[in-house]
Amino acid sequence: MKKLGAAHGLLTLCLASVTVGWAATIRTVQIDRHAGRYVLVSDTFLQAPPNAVFRVLTDYDQFARISSVFEESRFVGSDDDGTPLVYTRVEGCVWFFCKTMERVERLEFIAPDFIATTALPARSDFRYSRSEWQLSPEGDNGTRVLYRLEMEPDFWIPPVLGPMILKRKLVQGGADAVTRIEVLAQQLREPVQAELNRWPEARTSDID
């Protein structure tokens, strides 16, 4: 992969120990663009237990609480194999570039340690989109969150400024979201099983 200058290649933002609110800390963020695909990888610490963080990240009926970019989110039934399907609509503008992005995704998980979403291209504005959250206990009632997002938009992006704008938006939105996730998770006390009961047919294993 070629290293990026203004708009192409690899952009690494080492935000070691940068506190973004409460105890939420984004340790590292790395964003890569190659052949039309964007890959974001981050390592974050949240002062909340994994069970609670898991519940916040899988509550698509209330997903707008995580970030203001989500204009709409909800469960939309199940796939043929019983896997839950979720819908999100994101709207936003940076400078002159504005876009509404819709996704219908399969939601798979191993509670309370792993969550993955995979977009259905025929019902989304993405040729490919997959996100993964790996949650693990850390410290005194805290959670380490390893996040990976790989996506290939199915819409036009301005060739020069577009990639730079999108990367900037991802970083700014992520900093805002981790603080909100932590605050919401700290408010939860019920066991994670209470949330899983919403999806009696959901697959909780055999995730690729």
Sequence ranges of the domains in the chain:
14-49+73-196
- Please give the pLDDT value at position 143: 97
Rounded alpha-carbon distances, angstroms, from residue 26 to 16, 45, 76, 98, 171: 7, 7, 32, 27, 10
How many C-beta atoms lie closer than 10 Å to residue 82's C-beta?
A: 11
Spatial separation of the C-alpha atoms in residues 158 and 73, rounded to whole Å: 27
Sign of CA dihedral 152, 74, 174, 156: positive
How many C-beta atoms lie closer than 10 Å to residue 168's C-beta?
A: 15
- Please give the pLDDT value at position 44: 95
- Please give the pLDDT value at position 163: 66
- Please give the pLDDT value at position 4: 34
- Please give the pLDDT value at position 36: 83
Which CATH homologous superfamily contains domain 14-49+73-196?
START domain (3.30.530.20)
- Please give the pLDDT value at position 1: 41
DSSP per residue over 76-108, as a string? Answer: EEE-TTS-EEEEEEEEEEETTEEEEEEEEEEEE
Amino acid at 80: D
pTM: 0.78
Spatial separation of the C-alpha atoms in residues 106 and 84, rounded to whole Å: 6
What tokens were used for 64? 């707008």
Question: Which of 169, 143, 174 lies closest to 15 in space, CA to CA?
Answer: 174
- Please give the pLDDT value at position 13: 31
CB burial of 94-118 (b: ≥16 within 10 Å; e: otherwise) equals eeeeebebbbbbbbbbbbbebbbbb
- Please give the pLDDT value at position 95: 60
- Please give the pLDDT value at position 8: 32
Spatial separation of the C-alpha atoms in residues 200 and 92, rounded to whole Å: 35
- Please give the pLDDT value at position 87: 98
Residue ranges in the chain modelled with pLDDT below 50 = 1-21, 194, 200-208
Q: Where in 47-166 does DSSP place strands (E)? A: 70-78, 84-94, 97-110, 114-119, 126-138, 142-153
